[in-house]
Structure 1
Amino acid sequence: MSDGEQRSSVPAWSSPRAARALAVAVAIIDLLAVLLVGSSVEASRQHHRERATAATQNLAAALEQYLAGVFEKVELTLLTVADEYARESAEGRVDGPVFDDFLARQRGRIPQLHSLETFDADGKLAHGRDAPPGSVIDISDRDYFRRLRAEPGLGVIVSRPLVGRLTARPLLVLARALRRADGSFAGVAVASVLLEDLGSAFEGYDVGARGVIVLRDPELGLVVRRQTSGAPIALGDRTVSPELQALLRDGHRSATYSGVAVDGIERTFTFRRMARTGHLVIVGLAFDDYLAGWRRSTLLATAVLAAFGLLTAAAAWLTLRAWRRHQAAVQDLAEQETRFRLLAESATDVIWMVDASRRLTYVSPAVQRLAGWTPEEACRLRWPRLLSVPSIERIRSALARLGAVAPHAQPFADALIEHEVVAKDGRRVQAESRFSLLWSADGQVLGAIGVTRDVTERREMQARVHVAERMASLGTMAAGVAHEVNNPLTYVYGNVAFALERLGSLDARGRQAPLGEALQALREALAGADRVRHIVRDLKAFSRAENDRLEPVDVVRVIEGCLKMTGTLTRERAQVILRLGPVPRVLASEARIGQVMLNLVVNAAHAIPEGDPGANRIEVSTALAADGRVEVAVADTGTGIAPDVLPRIFDPFFTTKGVGEGTGLGLSICHGIVKALGGEIDVETAVGRGSRFRVLLPPAPAGAAIGRAEASAEPAGPPRRRVLVLDDDPLVARAIGRTLSRDCAVDVSTDPAQALRRLHSGERWDVILCDLMMPELAGMDVHASVQELDPGQAARIVFMTGGAFTARAREFLERVPNARVEKPLDPATLAQVLEAGSRGTPGDGTPEP
């Protein structure tokens, strides 16, 4: 037996030196165990705190959502009550029993509501079944009632905690003003929620033995406090912890903090401020509650540590423990590797790795969706095979910088490289990549790991958005062109009409051939100017400069204007057949209805190939549907819509046209406009036979005001009215003055400041025709000055517009009742303007051609 064999047969622990080494090893292991347990205990404590923090955050979010849902449902109910009250008031009276039934039904839909009532303008109970019969309740002294009466613009108000007049129980009140048909204050609708009901709802949330749930109003007054121990706190009490005060001062709307509450218990709190009402939802978990488990775990860990110290004397146990730790580490490493692989394989982006020679060593399965290659096929290819030639040059240029990179640097970590991927079938895929270098410990590049994303669809979407933006710009430009054309057209039209009238009177005395030819030429010029006027009107109707004021609209006239605008497009593709039956007007914006009709006609034309208009047709029809709604149909004999495309035709940005040919917004916008007007749009289609789009719109209610463009009265005004024509364009001003000079005493001015000085000196006119948009002093400013000087004279101002409005001008026209008229003006229109203006009547009776 050799010396080595002899030494190996002697137990190592029998050697004193080995014993000392073993003692040192045990001491080191015990010390390591103490450190490990201590860090674990601290980590466990931190974990418990994090769990408590997450619990308070989740509970606060859940409570905020619950309360916001309750308040939102109550707000919607109050809005419904206000709308119903306004509707019944507009019809003449509010039927008490019927309205009481309506309130009872609305209240029954919200379990949290204690009562739902309405009070009249004096604060007396008007409607509702939640009070005993004969009860007289007066809320005129309530703060929320006074605010709603004094501030017309307020919506729903949430009161501070109140004590009910009948129930003598604390409650919250949500109130909304009631308005009569003329907009005057008619009272308030009041919904009340018992605070004890809210407290009962809080009972369903577990916050431990010493936890709290608190609801405070925007001024920090206590509304509801749910607690299982400690002295109760008075309703409305505003005492809060310094930590919460500091967070609120800093403008936080939600936060988590630790502190001692007003009851002296240390807790972890989360508060959230409700967006709609400003109330604070506060959830607190007591340290003693959520650290109780940690204390038990700490005692257990201490006992285990003591046992471990005794067991470390056994070398076998140490060996076994070391082996088990080794096995656990191996298993943990395997699990981590599995998790990372699953993550890479489930990602929608392509994750890849290359080695130092730039060969692909790993590609995630997403490469098959991106380019059609399997991961195995991609790894067998050289990377340039996967990219287009310009992309190869771009990446090689970037990689050429590697030689100047410092070891362990990441020069490409924040760089996004755009390139084209060549798919297996040859198609080009737009992509972007980001990658990081892999470094060895000695500073050598081992390879790279990166991510590639398919951005083809995003690029196409961006291109379509750019087209849509250009179309919006064209709409704005169309409104500006209409405005610029209308000014010169006013004096062309007015002067030709004036010359025609004067020459006509000479011709009546003794016809002469040259004079007759001149009259005919003037008539033809007037007809041409009239045609230009109608073209400008149609152009303006379909531009985006129109406001969205709802008024009764003649759908047939809108369709006719639309077909004029699309005539060049349709005549090369199909015959246009009109079947325009009599239909009532619809309550809408003429511009929006025009937008819908224009899109439908253009889509119908695009569905038909050019070259054979005689064999194809586009049919536009109007009719009264069986349910009383107005039906507009646009049918074509085009290609039809494929079944797999049909479900998506109303989706935004969806189009079957190429990039630059269509935005994918037309039908989506049509669908949104029709739905907003309370209507429907549907389609019947057959591939190869064509499509038929049908729009159903509710008719305008009886008695709705007809737009200014529809007024047809032409009253004969009193002789020799005094008229001031105020326009910064001298040609326009003189043309209008010349047209009016036969029947009126006309003063023409191009200087608004001079006209105001004449008014201040005492001069007055029966009618003032004032241009709305003037550079030095706009029509809005003239009206303000005259209104301050003489309100009666201000009521006789008639505003002239060229069709393009600023936001300020549009707001002004909607606010003032003055008549207004659009250029160019003809004699008949001027006669109506003088009649309306001399009476100082509102603008709803003044024509607007």
Structure 2
Amino acid sequence: MGVTSEAMIPAVRGTILAVDDEPDILVALEDLLEDEYRVLTTSRPAEALELIAAEPDIDVILSDQRMPGLTGDALLARAREISDAQAILLTGYADISAVVSALNRGGITGYVTKPWDPSLLRNAVRSAYERHRLARELATERALLRGLLDHSSDAIAFKDGQGRFLRLNARMAERLGAPSVEACLGRSEADFLRSDLAADVAAADRAAIESGAPTETTMTEGASEAAQTWRQVTRVPIRDAAGAVVHLAVIARDITEQRQLELRLRQADKMQALGTLAGGVAHDFNNLLTAILGSLELALPKVAGDARLTRLMTNAAQAAQRGAALTKRLLTFSHRRDLQARVVDLNAVIRGMDDLLGRSLGGFVQVEHDLRDDLWPVKVDPDQLELAILNLCINGRDAMPEGGVVVLSTRNETVRGSQGRNPQGQNPQGPNPQGASPKGRALPDANLRDPNLKDGDYAVIAIRDTGTGIPPEILGRVFEPFFTTKGVGQGTGLGLAMVFGLVQQSGGTIRIDSTVGHGTTVLLYLPRSREPVEAVPTAPAAPTPAPRRARILVVDDDPQVRHVTASFLNGFGYDEVAVASGEAALERLDAERFDLVVADLAMPGMSGLDLAEAVRRRWPALPFLLVTGHAEAARIPAEFTVLEKPFPSADLAARVAALLGPAG
């Protein structure tokens, strides 16, 4: 026995195993085949099986039939169990029964009688080798296709020219609502889809086949806009050897998340544009309010003897002040800013929102209060808290299309044993010791966004509506940024995310109790503050008198605001000069001496900030007061003093007096 191989022939040319108990036969086979193949030889069937197990790349097995210990047909039958190699039986006898046995047991592809015709044997081996190579390539392609079908996240199918499924994966069957892949074979999509969708699919299939080129279409499914899904369907025609389109590959990709994100991003862009627009509108509106409020304040002393006129002008001033508060809230809504936290009375914040909520919720929604008198103070940004409450109340209004009641309530609550609770809500201890909502139902801890809420005292705000409630499958996603069930253009999906961010930054948490058909309660937990409530700064009853005579340069492009500001300063006892632009202001400063400059921030050409920096470079000791109707329109350095429009005369007097300092 000998095992030989031709070292100079690359293995990629194929490997042949020759098995014969006569060494001369093995030498002859090796001489005949070694020019084309790597040839392994052995005279013992047992060793042949060892070689087959050790050499998985054997392509063809040539075996003699009559060998001691193991006949050729038996050897090839055992080889079939461990190898996919093609088999050729060599026999020196016209033993048809052995050939039949080899065909049945060993899976031989042919047999050659001894003595063989060299050309015939070479052709038989070459044919067997080609069959084995093609079979392996086909098996590889099938494995790749099966792997693609089984593990792709896309729904994939192959159809014949009539649209019937030849192959498909489980995702395609699931998309069609079929019980299994097998249930789809030989059938078309029309057997599973609605008639209108089936017609669209059939038309798209025909168009792809007729064009002979890959096509892409987008399909929209879903009964409601909130449940809408999008799929991008790619159709690839497959041609036969003659170039005719005989099959169609269909790949359906779920692009719902991508499309929703695109829609949300477009909505976010709209909101950003709205914020920019709001800033410009607020600046102009605050200029108007400054002129209105200032004029009313200047005129009120002149009608002091007329009670009716005084009352009318006071009413007008109060309405203008409400407009100023609305403008401030608009800017807070449109522009992000750092929290300006202070210790507040939550009850006072809620009561102060009565007018805002009344205008925002409309006449079909009734707002009720249930506020605890001994409520603990908390440290929070009151403007952001008002915005959060407004968002939650608007959500409640939207859940009550036929009208209803929104109840704002407050209470104190002490949290104990909250550390280390299960964030998935499995047997946790909720933050409410009684485990009940204001409606008496248990609050599901799975909705507690912060499972590590620290032990301690909390003031709780509850916003309860009598609306439609939130389904459980949506409840777990309501805090996700950009998630919304409202139609495109009706909501950004940022409201609850903003509320969650506010309470989290304030050291608290938020939870929701909702039952479909019975309404929703949102609870805001805010840590108790041990500090006293900070008094809201109030303007002095009367303007601060001028500490000394001074010349003040007023710069504002709005003539009405410029007149009001100059009139205020003149009434305080200052000498004022008013100009309409930053360039004009620099000309006056070059020619005259001034003790203070009061300039509007937003002006065409040279802005107030540009003017302030120019003044600081050329006259560093000259005080400067920036007045603005939109404080977030530009980054104002901390060293500059700022006064926000609209302002009462007392605020202006106080700022001017502080900048000028005492006489001497």
Instruction: Please tell me the TM-score bracket, short chain as reference.
Output: 0.5 to 0.7
RMSD: 4.4
> Quick one: distance in 2 between partners of 1:803 and 1:645?
38
> Quick one: distance in 2 between partners of 1:681 and 1:632?
10
Q: CA-to-partner distance for each residue in 1:135-178, whole Å, 9 max, x for gaps?
A: xxxxxxxxxxxxxxxxxxxxxxxxxxxxxxxxxxxxxxxxxxxx
The answer for the alignment partner of 2:315 in structure 1 is 524
The answer for the alignment partner of 1:435 in structure 2 is 235
Cα contact 1:387–1:419 (8 A) shared by 2: no
User: One-letter code of the match for 1:751?
Assistant: S
Q: Does the residue aligned with 2:476 lie in a helix, a strand or coil?
A: helix
> Quick one: distance in 2 between partners of 1:629 and 1:791?
50
User: One-letter code of the match for 2:659?
Assistant: G
Q: Does the residue aligned with 1:632 lie in a helix, a strand or coil?
A: strand
**Would you say 1:483 and 2:283 are equivalent positions?**
yes
Aligned in 2, Cα 1:28/1:640: closer, same or farther, shift over 3 Å?
same
**Would you say 1:792 and 2:629 are equivalent positions?**
no
Q: CA-to-partner distance for each residue in 1:99-158, whole Å, 9 max, x for gaps?
A: xxxxxxxxxxxxxxxxxxxxxxxxxxxxxxxxxxxxxxxxxxxxxxxxxxxxxxxxxxxx
> Quick one: distance in 1 between partners of 2:267 and 2:195?
27
Q: CA-to-partner distance for each residue in 1:460-519, whole Å, 9 max, x for gaps?
A: 554455445444443443333222201122112212221222343xx4xxxxxxx66544
> Quick one: distance in 2 between partners of 1:352 and 1:452?
9
The 5 Å alignment of 1:34-49 reads 34=38
The answer for the alignment partner of 1:828 in structure 2 is 650
Q: CA-to-partner distance for each residue in 1:244-299, whole Å, 9 max, x for gaps?
A: xxxxxxxxxxxxxxxxxxxxxxxxxxxxxxxxxxxxxxxxxxxxxxxxxxxxxxxx
The 5 Å alignment of 1:229-378 reads 325-326=85-86, 337=142, 340-341=145-146, 343-374=148-179, 375-378=181-184
Q: 598, 604, 610: which one pairs with 1:775?
A: 604
**Would you say 1:577 and 2:581 are equivalent positions?**
no
> Quick one: distance in 2 between partners of 1:316 and 1:334?
33
Cα contact 2:458–2:526 (8 A) shared by 1: yes
> Quick one: distance in 1 between partners of 2:469 and 2:367?
17
Shift of 1:800: 0.6
Q: 578, 581, 589: which one pairs with 1:748?
A: 578
Shift of 1:801: 0.7
Shift of 1:552: 2.2
Aligned in 2, Cα 1:690/1:359: closer, same or farther, shift over 3 Å?
closer
Aligned in 2, Cα 1:482/1:728: closer, same or farther, shift over 3 Å?
same
Q: 481, 505, 519: which one pairs with 1:676?
A: 505
The answer for the alignment partner of 2:324 in structure 1 is 533
User: One-letter code of the match for 1:418?
Assistant: T
User: One-letter code of the match for 2:388?
Assistant: V
The answer for the alignment partner of 2:107 in structure 1 is none
User: One-letter code of the match for 1:829?
Assistant: D
**Would you say 1:802 and 2:629 are equivalent positions?**
yes
> Quick one: distance in 2 between partners of 1:787 and 1:379?
82
**Would you say 1:725 and 2:554 are equivalent positions?**
yes
Paired residues, number: 518
Shift of 1:829: 1.9
**Would you say 1:545 and 2:352 are equivalent positions?**
no
Shift of 1:526: 2.6
Aligned in 2, Cα 1:689/1:741: closer, same or farther, shift over 3 Å?
same
Which runs of 5 or more structure 1 residues have no equivalent in the other structure?
Answer: 1-18, 37-300, 406-410, 508-514, 841-849
Aligned in 2, Cα 1:22/1:487: closer, same or farther, shift over 3 Å?
same
Q: Does the residue aligned with 2:281 lie in a helix, a strand or coil?
A: helix
Q: CA-to-partner distance for each residue in 1:78-101, whole Å, 9 max, x for gaps?
A: xxxxxxxxxxxxxxxxxxxxxxxx
The 5 Å alignment of 1:545-694 reads 545=335, 547-548=337-338, 550-552=340-342, 554=344, 556=346, 559-560=350-351, 562-568=353-359, 569=361, 571-577=363-369, 579=371, 581=373, 583-584=376-377, 586-588=379-381, 590-611=382-403, 613=404, 616-621=405-410, 627-657=456-486, 661-686=490-515, 688-694=517-523
User: One-letter code of the match for 2:526?
Assistant: L
Q: Does the residue aligned with 1:605 lie in a helix, a strand or coil?
A: helix
Shift of 1:737: 0.9
> Quick one: distance in 2 between partners of 1:755 and 1:418?
61
User: One-letter code of the match for 1:792?
Assistant: A
Q: Does the residue aligned with 1:792 lie in a helix, a strand or coil?
A: coil
Greater mean deviation of Cα atoms: 651-660 or 477-486: 651-660
The answer for the alignment partner of 1:396 in structure 2 is 203
Cα contact 2:552–2:594 (8 A) shared by 1: no
User: One-letter code of the match for 1:758?
Assistant: R
User: One-letter code of the match for 1:835?
Assistant: A
Q: Does the residue aligned with 1:446 lie in a helix, a strand or coil?
A: strand
Shift of 1:382: 4.0
User: One-letter code of the match for 1:838?
Assistant: L
Q: Does the residue aligned with 1:453 lie in a helix, a strand or coil?
A: strand
Q: Taking structure 1 as the reference length, what is the TM-score of the superposition?
A: 0.53
Aligned in 2, Cα 1:617/1:838: closer, same or farther, shift over 3 Å?
same
The answer for the alignment partner of 1:417 in structure 2 is 217
Which runs of 5 or more structure 2 residues have no equivalent in the other structure?
Answer: 1-22, 41-50, 88-131, 416-455
User: One-letter code of the match for 2:410?
Assistant: S
User: One-letter code of the match for 1:29?
Assistant: L
The answer for the alignment partner of 2:293 in structure 1 is 493
> Quick one: distance in 2 between partners of 1:340 and 1:764?
85
User: One-letter code of the match for 2:274?
Assistant: L
Aligned in 2, Cα 1:521/1:564: closer, same or farther, shift over 3 Å?
closer
Aligned in 2, Cα 1:463/1:553: closer, same or farther, shift over 3 Å?
farther
Cα contact 2:581–2:603 (8 A) shared by 1: no
Shift of 1:733: 0.6
Q: Does the residue aligned with 1:800 lie in a helix, a strand or coil?
A: strand
> Quick one: distance in 2 between partners of 1:422 and 1:592?
37
Q: CA-to-partner distance for each residue in 1:428-459, whole Å, 9 max, x for gaps?
A: 96432223222222323221222223445554
Shift of 1:797: 1.3
Greater per-residue helix proportion:
1
Aligned in 2, Cα 1:23/1:431: closer, same or farther, shift over 3 Å?
same
Aligned in 2, Cα 1:35/1:481: closer, same or farther, shift over 3 Å?
farther
User: One-letter code of the match for 2:291?
Assistant: Y
Q: Which has the higher contact order (CA 8 A, sep 6+)?
A: 2
Q: Does the residue aligned with 1:492 lie in a helix, a strand or coil?
A: helix
Shift of 1:549: 5.0
The answer for the alignment partner of 1:8 in structure 2 is none
Q: Does the residue aligned with 1:742 lie in a helix, a strand or coil?
A: helix
Task: Give percent identity, aligned residues only.
Answer: 26
User: One-letter code of the match for 1:671?
Assistant: F
Cα contact 1:388–1:422 (8 A) shared by 2: no
> Quick one: distance in 2 between partners of 1:692 and 1:788?
57
User: One-letter code of the match for 1:26?
Assistant: E
